[in-house]
Amino acid sequence: MNNTKVIPAVMKKPKLKKGGKVVYRNNENILLLAWHDKCLVTMLSTWSTSKSEPVRRKVRGRKEEEMEKPSVIANYMKNMGGVDTADQYCATYCFLQRTLKWWRKLFFWGLEVSIINAYILYVESCKNSNSNPMSHIKFRRELVMALVGDFCQGGGASTRGRTSTSDNQQRLNGMLHVIIPHPEKKHEDYIVCSKRNVPGGRKETTYICET
């Protein structure tokens, strides 16, 4: 954002022709660069230099042209793709929830990033072995099953709401139960708490238990 107070006035609205640039560097080795391509682009960096490098890009008519682009922008375009891919993976099946406890959100964010990194490494491993990787959602399901294993929460814990008329252990069969969307997208009654013979007692769901 080039409209903040700490930005020099010469960098806020520089009058540049296409391909022109203005560079500013302070005593703390922070580089501020403004470059005009199709529009004004402002970059802030603590690593890159103000030099330019030749790059090729496609223009209208599927033709390519060679142009001089500042190294700080070229590096951003080259390396930012991986960050965008990771952000896209995180947003697809994100399980973060709003909470006032910052440490809880930080923990689950770290867990989410770990899952994404694991999937990226898994895909790269499949490429090296010439095998087809599983989809992202299937990878997550396999990961959940591998982490949970054969764990089944036994009785004794206090539960809220009305308990099932059938025996809990008999209903669970000592196995892990994971809900998934109904493959045929049907609405079915809850087995435990739905009552058709009571007015307003019918409760439906579009999720089922594979087990």
What does the domain layout of the chain look like in residue ranges? 93-148, 168-209
At residue 172 the predicted structure's pLDDT band, cuts being 50, 70 and 90, is low
Q: Would you state the pLDDT for residue 22?
A: 78
- Token code pair at residue 63: 């033709």
Higher pLDDT, 39 or 24: 39
pLDDT higher than 80, residue 193: no
Average pLDDT, the chain: 77
Give the pLDDT confidence of 31-64 residue by residue, as tens digits.
888 888 888 888 888 877 778 888 877 777 677 7
In this prediction, residue 14 has a pLDDT band, given cuts at 50, 70 and 90, of confident
C-beta neighbour count of 103 within 10 angstroms: 8
Q: What value, to the nearest 5°, has the Cα angle with vertex 207 and ends 202 and 211?
A: 110
Can you give the pLDDT at residue 170? 55
Is the pLDDT confidence value at 161 over 60? no
**Quick one: 7 exposed, middle or buried, by C-beta within 10 A (0-12, 13-18, 19+)?**
middle
What is the rounded distance in angstroms from the CA atom of residue 158 to the CA atom of residue 37? 64
> Angle 145-135-92 (CA atoms, 0-180°, nearest 5)?
90
Strand, helix or coil for residue 102: helix
Segment among 54-63, 97-106, 140-149 with least mean pLDDT: 54-63
- In this predicted structure, the answer to whether residue 164 has a pLDDT above a threshold of 60 is no
Q: Is the pLDDT of residue 149 over 70?
A: yes
Write the DSSP symbol of residue 109: H
- List, for residues 112-132, the tens digit of each pLDDT value: 889 988 998 999 999 999 999
Rounded to an integer, the average pLDDT of 11-32 is: 77
Which pair of structure tokens corresponds to residue 162?
A: 């009305």
pTM of the model: 0.45
pLDDT for residue 156: 44
